[in-house]
């Protein structure tokens, strides 16, 4: 039986497209092996040519990252994120089960297009500072949704998917449960026994995922954050909810407890659930936040967030979502800057969970009890 991944790896080694101590050559060989296994002779030739071009692009991206920003980059990542970065396909057509050169050229991302995207990043200085644009375009690949399909799919295995959370061949150790394997924590010099190495309230996963240093308690400052790593807050206000009180019959978020507190210039909120929300395809979290002068609706959904004035739904700020962690959330943690509440110092907060009622998607299928928070004193 042919070993397609090994054949592609040997092609890279033969042409000198590898770097000692760097697993990207293995990642490229692995992620292209499926395409290679179903390709005809002409498509295989294109794959062998493109895998060399892709490694040359990788070296450009890695060098650019080292030039414009400190800290770990793509070249420092373990092999699994590199496999995800190297993936160039989601859907494609075949002829009698065979990938032809025609369909390879039509459905597989062209290296020339990826080169052009990287040049846009360089020309427009998108890599200077922690930006979502850099994270998507250079550090992690072209489409953020690729990660969920490759490594965190809740669906059964399908052609093109490497594995899902249940069928992963190896489970690496993650002592603190923050989504960063212990081997990666060693590489990043974060604490494998703490989900928040610098104690700034943002998990190591969220900070690394959004381009912030995970060992600097002074960064970030005054930013929205939606995190899947829920931390205990001993001095928080709490409101518990009984199991099974959601009106939704499917895709529901049956919250068990909401916690909240004011910490410095931000509001911290956490939500835990009775049920396993990783099985849900919906991604929506909403808070009604009432202040003496104005009511607000804060909502995260579709990988991004928005704050509206509650009565007229005037959109006045948008912000990033949870990123990669969103596919495997078992709880949710939110950080909201107080600067968006027009100087208010007292707040009443209600969490609203979505779900399907009678086959229709509803934003409000379950509501928590109210917690009261104060920034005074």
- Do both 195 and 74 map to the same domain? no
Distance CA 268, CA 334 (A): 6
d(CA 55, CA 28): 8
> Please, which pLDDT band fits residue 313 given cuts at 50, 70 and 90?
low
pLDDT of residue 203: 83
Name beta bridge partners: 287: 298, 351
Mean of the per-residue pLDDT values for the chain? 78
Total tally of structural domains belonging to the chain: 3
**Predicted structure pTM score:** 0.54
**Of 308, 282, 300, residue with least CA distance to 351:** 300
Question: By mean pLDDT, which of 15-24, 80-89, 201-210, 307-316 is the weakest?
Answer: 307-316
Q: Are residues 210 and 262 in the same domain?
A: no
The pLDDT value recorded for residue 233 is: 77
Asked whether residue 263 falls in the same domain as residue 273, the answer is yes
- Report residue 140's pLDDT band, with 50, 70 and 90 as the boundaries: very low
pLDDT at 320: 54
Same domain, yes or no, for 136 and 253?
no
* pLDDT value of residue 318: 59
Which is higher by pLDDT, 51 or 286?
51
Pick the residue with more confidence: 22 or 362?
Answer: 22
The dihedral sign for the CA sequence 29, 32, 38, 43: negative
CATH of the domain at 347: 2.60.40.10
Between the ranges 96-110, 147-161, 266-280, 353-367, where is the mean pLDDT highest? Answer: 96-110
pLDDT band at 9 (very low <50, low <70, confident <90, very high): very high
Q: Please check whether residues 196 and 328 belong to one and the same domain.
A: no
**Is there a domain that residue 111 lies in?**
yes
What is the structure's pLDDT at 1?
A: 53
Which tens digit of pLDDT belongs to each residue from 147-198? Answer: 444 433 334 344 444 444 454 445 567 788 777 878 788 888 899 998 889 8
Which among 151, 167, 191 is the end of a domain?
Answer: 151
Q: 158 lies in a domain? A: no
Domain shared by 215 and 244, yes or no: no
Pairing of strands 331-337, 266-273: antiparallel
Q: How far apart are CA 351 and CA 370, in angstroms?
A: 8
Q: Are residues 200 and 285 in the same domain?
A: no
**Is the pLDDT assigned to residue 338 strictly greater than 80?**
yes
Do 217 and 332 lie in one domain? The reply is no
123 in any annotated domain: yes
Q: Is 157 among the domain residues?
A: no
- Residue 89 lies in domain: 4-151
Q: Does 203 fall in a domain?
A: yes
Same domain assignment for residues 133 and 18: yes
Residues 265 and 328 in one domain: yes
Residues 311 and 234 in one domain: yes
Closest CA to 41 of 82, 79, 98: 98
Tell me: the pLDDT tens digits for 95-128?
Answer: 888 999 999 998 888 899 888 888 887 887 766 6
Q: What pLDDT does 12 receive?
A: 95
Q: For 15, list phi and psi in degrees, rounded to 5.
A: -90, 5
Which pLDDT score, from 0 to 100, does residue 41 have? 95
Segment 203-228 shows an average pLDDT of: 79
Q: Do residues 237 and 353 both lie within one domain?
A: yes
The pLDDT value given to residue 60: 92
Beta bridge partners of 308: 297, 315
């Amino acid at each position: 039986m042919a070993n397609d991944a090994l054949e592609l790896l040997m092609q890279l080694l033969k042409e000198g497209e590898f770097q000692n101590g760097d697993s990207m050559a293995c990642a490229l060989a692995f992620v292209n092996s499926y395409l290679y296994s179903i390709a005809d002779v002409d498509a295989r030739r294109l794959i062998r040519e493109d895998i060399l071009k892709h490694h040359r692009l990788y070296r450009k991206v890695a060098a650019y990252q080292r030039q414009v920003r400190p800290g770990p980059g793509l070249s420092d990542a373990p092999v699994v994120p590199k496999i995800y970065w190297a993936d160039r396909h989601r859907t494609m057509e075949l002829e009698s089960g065979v990938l032809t050169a025609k369909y390879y050229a039509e459905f597989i991302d062209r290296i020339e297009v990826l080169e052009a995207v990287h040049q846009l990043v360089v020309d427009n200085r998108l890599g200077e500072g922690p930006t979502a644009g850099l994270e998507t375009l250079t550090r992690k690949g072209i489409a953020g949704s690729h990660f969920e399909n490759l490594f965190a799919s809740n669906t059964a295995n399908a052609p093109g998917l490497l594995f899902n959370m249940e069928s992963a061949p190896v489970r690496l150790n993650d002592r603190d449960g923050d989504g960063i394997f212990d081997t990666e924590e060693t590489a990043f010099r974060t604490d494998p026994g703490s989900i928040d190495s610098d104690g700034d309230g943002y998990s190591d996963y969220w900070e690394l995922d959004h381009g912030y240093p995970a060992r600097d308690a002074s960064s970030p400052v005054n930013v929205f954050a939606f995190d899947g790593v829920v931390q205990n807050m001993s001095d928080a206000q709490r409101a518990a909810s009984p199991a099974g009180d959601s009106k939704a019959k499917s895709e529901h978020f049956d919250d068990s407890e909401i916690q909240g507190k004011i910490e410095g210039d931000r509001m911290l909120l956490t939500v835990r659930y009775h049920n396993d929300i990783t099985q849900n395809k919906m991604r929506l979290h909403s808070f009604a936040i009432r202040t003496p002068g104005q009511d607000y609706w804060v909502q995260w959904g579709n990988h991004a967030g928005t704050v509206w004035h509650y009565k007229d739904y005037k959109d006045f700020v948008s912000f990033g979502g949870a990123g990669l962690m969103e596919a495997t959330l078992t709880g949710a943690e939110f950080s909201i800057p107080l600067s968006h509440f027009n100087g208010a110092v007292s707040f009443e907060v209600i969490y609203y969970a979505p779900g399907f009622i009678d086959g229709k998607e509803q934003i409000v299928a379950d509501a928590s009890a109210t917690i009261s928070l104060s920034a005074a004193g």
